[in-house]
């Protein structure tokens, strides 16, 4: 089967499968070897060595017993029986421990010798030790000393065979432990070499099957990307790479066919962009001129209606007085609306100078503008430690003035209290202006920033509906954003906005 018949996924699967088989075999063999190594180590450390120690302890205990009996027979002093009694306690404990330690199949010989030791102990104690102690106590002659020596020599012989069996078992376990350790080392080295060889073979195969066709395809694609659209893209290698080459070649043909149309479309878009820019400039100029030119006739209307009100107030009927009042009020409202619209149209249109300004000074200037309203409503503005920002002093003062004016206007039944804070937020300072007034429902969080949008009638609250729209336009002109945030105490309104914190000279230099 040609390699081009297989997909890249199939080649990868085949190679990874072979590597997994090799690695899996090595891991299984290593685990088995490590398990045997652990078994041999546990046999030596947890059974044979403790059994050897217990065997020596048993030998010492039996020697203490024999010495005590022999001394008692010679001196008839009961004090010599103390080592005998203590030795019997140690003997019993040691025998129980040895039976437990020698319970495995690897210590069958030692366990058999332990039974011989137990029999020899019982023979020495039954034939000599106990009869000798009983005879001395009754005043009779003890059994012959030669009998005691013969029985104890047999006991020593059994103990020696027990210890020899333990030493032999330990030597055999140590040899197996060493052999297993060598096998584990050889096996891991061999497995590592085998895996390394497999990885090298896999890398060579992947380079020949996948990397080289991809390199050829990449070179063709880069040639086309440099602008040589007449260069044909070759297709070779596994199915995916060959298919990709065919697709790229098809795409190259389409690019050649469509590049002319794209250039024509680009020229058309540039023409439309220039036309749109010119149209926007004309609209801004129209808004400015319209607002500016309406000022003079509007002032004249307002002036004459006020003169009518002063001269003829009380001389006409009540309805005429009310009509004149409506005219004066409408002229004033129109003048406020035009002034706000004119200020709105100027944001971002006139040349503005960005400078380093202290936020605390901006707040003080805004408070000065609203000094009368703050005094009349017993309002309070609490400004925490505020940072310096980069922006236009007049525009940013208007932002704080609009937000403070709204807090005063929508204060509710209590005197207005406004808190202004700022925290660092990356390259920006994030300001918050919080009041305890009537607040704004969450569903109107976006509507309040749209020009001329009002949530209340003019009879309830005065205003033109441009203030927050102007705040958004000013903040966005400075590269920040403004939004209505949830109030912390569940009442009042909390406006947050961001302003750049960098030094304009540093930003220009960067």
How many Cβ atoms from other residues are within 10 Å of residue 359's Cβ? 21
| Cα-based distances in Å from 353 to 36, 262, 387, 393 | 83, 40, 19, 9
pLDDT confidence tier of residue 345, bands split at 50, 70 and 90: low
The CA distance from 155 to 70, in Å, is: 16
pLDDT confidence tier of residue 349, bands split at 50, 70 and 90: low
Query: Phi-psi category of 453—alpha, beta or left, where left has phi over 0 and alpha has psi -120 to 50?
Result: beta
Q: Which of 382, 438, 310, 20 is nearest to 194 (CA)?
A: 20
pLDDT confidence tier of residue 453, bands split at 50, 70 and 90: low
pLDDT confidence tier of residue 135, bands split at 50, 70 and 90: confident
* Cβ(214)–Cβ(237) below 8 Å: yes
Q: Which of 315, 466, 492 is nearest to 410 (CA)?
A: 492
Q: What is the mean pLDDT of residues 441-447?
A: 71
Q: Which of 391, 399, 390, 388 is nearest to 352 (CA)?
A: 391
The better pLDDT of the pair 293, 425 is held by 425
The CA distance from 260 to 383, in Å, is: 61
Q: Which of 472, 499, 492 is nearest to 483 (CA)?
A: 472
Is the pLDDT score of 277 beyond 90?
A: no
Q: What is the pLDDT of residues 181-236, one digit of tens each?
A: 887 788 778 878 877 887 888 787 777 777 777 777 777 777 777 767 677 766 66
Q: Spell out the domains of the chain, with CATH numbers in brackets.
A: 3-210 (1.20.1420), 238-346 (1.10.287), 351-509 (3.30.565.10)
How distant is the alpha carbon of residue 403 from its chain centre? 39
The better pLDDT of the pair 458, 92 is held by 92
Q: What is the mean pLDDT of residues 254-259?
A: 72
Q: What is the mean pLDDT of residues 126-147?
A: 83
Is the pLDDT score of 76 beyond 70?
A: yes
Is the pLDDT score of 14 beyond 70?
A: yes
Q: What is the mean pLDDT of residues 445-473?
A: 66
Q: Which of 71, 117, 51, 63 is nearest to 87 (CA)?
A: 63
Q: Which of 411, 390, 349 is nearest to 501 (CA)?
A: 390
pLDDT at 364: 92
Is the pLDDT score of 468 beyond 60?
A: yes
pLDDT at 281: 67
Task: Provide the residue count of the chain.
Answer: 510
**SS (HEC) of 108-123:** HHHHHHHHHHHHHHHH
pLDDT at 97: 84
Is the pLDDT score of 415 beyond 70?
A: yes
pLDDT at 239: 67
pLDDT at 362: 92
Is the pLDDT score of 503 beyond 70?
A: no
Q: Which of 149, 151, 156, 152 is nearest to 113 (CA)?
A: 156
| Mean pLDDT over each residue of the chain, to the nearest integer | 76
Lowest mean pLDDT of 74-88, 158-172, 210-224, name the range: 210-224
As a 3-state breakdown, the chain gives helix, strand, coil percent values, each rounded to 5, of 75, 10, 20
pLDDT confidence tier of residue 336, bands split at 50, 70 and 90: low
> How many Å is the maximal CA-CA distance in the chain?
162
Looking at residue 463, the DSSP 8-state letter turns out to be -
Is the pLDDT score of 474 beyond 80?
A: yes
Is the pLDDT score of 425 beyond 80?
A: yes
Exposure of 499 in the CB half-sphere (CA atoms within 13 A): 32
Is the pLDDT score of 509 beyond 50?
A: no
SS3 state at 500: strand
The CA distance from 162 to 171, in Å, is: 14
How many Cβ atoms from other residues are within 10 Å of residue 479's Cβ? 14
Instruction: For the sheet with 417-425, list strands across it.
Output: 380-383, 417-425, 428-435, 494-500, 482-485
Sign of CA dihedral 21, 26, 32, 38: negative
pLDDT confidence tier of residue 363, bands split at 50, 70 and 90: very high
The residues, any chain, with a CB within 8 Å of residue 72's CB and separated by 6 or more, are 78, 80, 81, 84, 132, 133, 136
Is the pLDDT score of 431 beyond 90?
A: yes
Most confident of 84-98, 283-297, 382-396: 382-396
Is the pLDDT score of 316 beyond 80?
A: no
pLDDT confidence tier of residue 493, bands split at 50, 70 and 90: confident
User: What percent of the chain has pLDDT above 70?
Assistant: 76
pLDDT at 1: 37
* Cβ(233)–Cβ(249) below 8 Å: yes
Structure tokens belonging to residue 460: 């309830």
The better pLDDT of the pair 252, 57 is held by 57
Lowest mean pLDDT of 73-82, 153-162, 349-358, name the range: 349-358
SS3 state at 348: coil
Q: What is the pLDDT of residues 387-404, one digit of tens each?
A: 999 888 888 998 899 888
Looking at residue 420, the DSSP 8-state letter turns out to be E
Q: What is the mean pLDDT of residues 289-295?
A: 64
Is the pLDDT score of 244 beyond 60?
A: yes
Q: Which of 446, 453, 502 is nearest to 479 (CA)?
A: 502
Exposure of 221 in the CB half-sphere (CA atoms within 13 A): 15
How many Cβ atoms from other residues are within 10 Å of residue 216's Cβ? 17
pLDDT at 459: 46
How many Cβ atoms from other residues are within 10 Å of residue 126's Cβ? 11
Q: Which of 441, 431, 447 is nearest to 410 (CA)?
A: 441
User: What percent of the chain has pLDDT above 90?
Assistant: 4
Most confident of 4-18, 46-60, 109-123, 410-424: 410-424
């Amino acid at each position: 089967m040609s390699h081009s018949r297989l997909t890249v996924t199939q080649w990868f699967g085949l190679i990874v499968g072979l590597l997994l088989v090799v690695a899996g075999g090595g891991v299984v063999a290593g685990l088995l070897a490590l398990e045997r190594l652990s078994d041999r180590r546990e046999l030596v450390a947890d059974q044979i060595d403790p059994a050897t120690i217990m065997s020596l302890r048993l030998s010492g205990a039996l020697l203490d017993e024999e010495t005590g009996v022999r001394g008692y027979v010679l001196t008839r002093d009961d004090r010599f029986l103390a080592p005998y009694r203590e030795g019997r306690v140690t003997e019993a404990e040691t025998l129980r421990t040895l039976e437990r330690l020698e319970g495995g199949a690897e210590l069958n010989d030692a366990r058999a010798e332990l039974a011989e030791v137990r029999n020899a102990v019982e023979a020495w104690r039954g034939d000599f030790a106990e009869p000798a102690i009983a005879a001395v106590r009754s005043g009779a002659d003890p059994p012959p000393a030669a009998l005691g020596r013969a029985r104890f020599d047999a006991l020593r012989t059994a103990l020696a065979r027990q210890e020899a069996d333990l030493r032999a078992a330990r030597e055999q376990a140590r040899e197996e432990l060493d052999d297993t350790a060598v096998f584990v080392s050889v096996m891991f080295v061999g497995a590592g070499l085998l895996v390394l060889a497999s990885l090298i073979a896999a890398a060579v195969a992947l380079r020949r099957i996948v990397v080289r066709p991809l390199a050829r395809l990449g070179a063709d694609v880069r040639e086309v990307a440099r602008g040589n659209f007449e260069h044909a893209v070759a297709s070779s290698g596994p199915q995916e790479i060959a298919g990709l080459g065919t697709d790229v070649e098809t795409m190259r043909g389409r690019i050649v066919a469509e590049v002319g149309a794209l250039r024509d479309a680009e020229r058309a878009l540039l023409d439309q962009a220039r036309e749109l820019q010119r149209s926007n400039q004309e609209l801004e100029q129209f808004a400015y001129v319209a607002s500016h030119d309406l000022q003079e006739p509007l002032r004249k209307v307002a002036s004459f209606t006020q003169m009518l009100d002063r001269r003829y107030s009380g001389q006409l009927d009540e309805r005429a007085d009310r009509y004149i009042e409506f005219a004066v009020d409408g002229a004033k409202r129109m003048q406020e609306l035009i002034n706000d619209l004119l200020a709105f149209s100027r944001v971002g249109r006139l040349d503005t100078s960005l400078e380093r300004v202290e936020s605390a000074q901006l707040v003080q200037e805004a408070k000065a503008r609203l000094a009368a309203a703050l005094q009349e409503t017993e309002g309070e503005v609490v400004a925490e430690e505020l940072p310096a920002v980069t922006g236009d002093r007049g525009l940013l003062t208007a932002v704080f003035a609009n937000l403070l004016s709204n807090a005063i206007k929508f204060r509710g039944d209590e005197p207005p209290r406004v808190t202004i804070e700022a925290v660092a937020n990356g390259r920006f300072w994030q300001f918050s202006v919080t009041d305890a007034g009537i607040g704004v429902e969450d569903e109107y969080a976006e509507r309040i920033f749209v020009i001329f949008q009002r949530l209340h009638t003019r009879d309830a609250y005065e205003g033109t509906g441009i203030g927050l729209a102007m705040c958004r336009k000013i903040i966005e002109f400075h590269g920040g954003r403004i939004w209505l945030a949830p109030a912390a105490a569940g009442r009042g309104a909390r406006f947050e906005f961001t302003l750049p914190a960098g030094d304009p000279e540093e930003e220009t230099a960067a």
